[in-house]
């Protein structure tokens, strides 16, 4: 078998590069619920891969990007608040 391609249910799968983590671990890192992780996957904010066993895992790079985006969004919100 070619080490750069895998087969699953008769389909060629392109290699996936990058580390992945479980849905549960992504929720812990992002400090959100598992449901929110699934919403962010659906909305394209988080990227996933499927294991050969069919499990869904979140790419760690996309979690890092989501964290950065969230921090940036919160800092903008703070800057826009009027002084009290």
User: Which stretches within the chain are classed as H helix?
Assistant: 23-30, 34-42, 60-80
Per-residue confidence (pLDDT) for residue 69, from 0 to 100: 81
Is 15 a domain residue? no
Is 59 a domain residue? yes
Label residue 4 by pLDDT band (50, 70, 90): very low
Is 54 a domain residue? yes
Give residue 59's domain range.
20-79
Is 30 a domain residue? yes
Backbone angles phi, psi at 43, to 5 degrees: -80, -5
0.85 exceeded by pTM: no
Is 33 a domain residue? yes
The H or E element spanning position 6 is strand 6-8
Is 3 a domain residue? no
Label residue 68 by pLDDT band (50, 70, 90): confident
**How far is Cα 75 from Cα 29, in angstroms, rounded to an integer?**
19
State how many domains the chain has. Answer: 1
């Amino acid at each position: 078998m070619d080490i750069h391609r895998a087969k699953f249910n008769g389909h060629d799968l392109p290699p996936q590069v990058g580390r992945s983590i479980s849905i549960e671990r992504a929720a812990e890192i992002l400090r959100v619920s598992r449901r929110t992780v699934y919403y962010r996957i659906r909305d394209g904010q988080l990227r996933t891969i499927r294991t050969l066993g069919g499990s869904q895992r979140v790419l760690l790079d996309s979690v890092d990007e989501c964290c950065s985006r969230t921090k940036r969004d919160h800092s903008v919100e703070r800057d826009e608040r009027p002084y009290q």
